[in-house]
């Protein structure tokens, strides 16, 4: 989820999962211009000093995984990455999967650990359809960048285990911090487990439910910002997201874009 706050749904999840009573709000996107970790989808104003090693981790094929936040597409300069956050959800994830299938598009699903545990059939359906998995923490705490390294580790690694178990053994290939609340520690921890930190360039703002036309207008006006697009399939009524994707995916094809995955 990008720059959201005040949602009872995640407050309840957080209380159940980690024993706290509320999720603090995150009300803005943090964007700077200083380098790879300081781009859209990376909260940089409150980063803490890491204690994790600076060495990259290893992916499934043994290749090093960078701890830098990725935005690029593996389809090159005219590729786009569709990313879907906060699920899986029994109502909306199947509808998103259908739209993707109808358009022949693959996406990256950033899953919350408690949701993956609750709906393993949907995690398996995402994998079976050829999409990639992303760790979006256990409970979607957008203030985790202010918490201890032990807390960050629990949120990331427990979610990784939950998603992997729910998928039947397929591990997430990326890590996206809730609200972009990355820290050097969390980025290097994720990379050491083979998960590339994943940002975004275009926030569709679908979470605010501004209307299908507004979601489409945002994407069309901001697509020049970069290839990684942010949408959601959980956390409330996602009918506008489904409707927007149904129109945006053909439009992107008409503009000459191809669909890929974030660079690993």
- Provide the token pair at 137: 């923490």
Mean pLDDT in order along the chain per 10 residues (264 residues): 41 39 30 33 37 44 84 96 98 98 98 98 98 98 97 98 98 97 98 98 98 98 98 97 98 97 96
pLDDT at 41: 55
- Provide the token pair at 180: 């972009």
251: CB partners within 8 A, 6+ apart: 216, 220
Residue 85 annotated among the catalytic residues of the structure: yes
Residue 232 annotated among the catalytic residues of the structure: yes
CATH code of 68-260, in short, is 3.20.20.370
Q: Kindly report, residue by residue over 173-192, the tens digit of the pLDDT.
A: 999 999 999 999 999 999 99
**CA pair distance 128, 176, nearest whole angstrom:** 22
pLDDT at 63: 67
Residue where the block lists tokens 């501004």: 210
C-alpha dist (Å) from residue 69 to 39, 72, 102, 256: 8, 9, 30, 26
Could you say which of 71, 85, 135, 203 is catalytic?
A: 85
What is this structure's pTM?
A: 0.81
pLDDT at 58: 54
Max CA pair span of the chain:
48
For the chain, domain boundaries: 68-260
pLDDT at 64: 80
Could you say which of 89, 140, 232, 233 is catalytic?
A: 232
C-alpha dist (Å) from residue 36 to 69, 142, 199: 6, 21, 10
């Amino acid at each position: 989820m990008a720059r959201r706050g005040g949602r009872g749904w995640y407050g309840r999840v957080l209380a159940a999962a980690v024993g706290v009573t509320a999720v603090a709000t995150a009300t803005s996107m943090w964007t700077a211009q200083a380098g790879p970790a300081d781009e859209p989808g990376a909260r940089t104003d409150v980063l803490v000093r890491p204690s994790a090693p600076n060495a990259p981790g290893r992916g499934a094929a043994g290749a090093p995984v960078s701890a830098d936040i990725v935005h690029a597409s593996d389809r090159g300069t005219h590729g786009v990455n569709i990313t879907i956050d906060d699920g899986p959800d029994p109502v909306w994830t199947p509808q998103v999967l259908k739209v993707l299938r109808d358009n022949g598009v693959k996406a990256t699903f950033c899953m919350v650990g408690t949701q993956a545990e609750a709906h393993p059939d949907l995690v398996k359906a995402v994998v079976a359809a050829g999409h990639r998995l992303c760790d979006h923490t256990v409970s979607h705490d957008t203030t985790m960048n202010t918490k201890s390294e032990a807390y960050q580790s629990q949120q990331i690694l427990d979610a990784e285990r939950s998603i992997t178990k729910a998928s039947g053994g397929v591990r997430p290939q990326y890590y996206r911090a809730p609200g972009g609340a990355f820290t050097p520690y969390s980025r290097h921890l994720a990379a050491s487990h083979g998960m590339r930190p994943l940002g975004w360039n275009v926030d569709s703002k679908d979470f605010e439910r501004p209307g299908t036309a507004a979601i489409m207008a945002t994407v069309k006006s901001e697509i020049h910002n970069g290839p990684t697009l942010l949408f959601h399939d959980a956390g409330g009524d996602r009918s506008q997201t489904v409707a927007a994707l149904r129109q945006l995916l053909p439009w992107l094809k008409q503009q000459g874009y191809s669909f890929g995955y974030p660079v690993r």
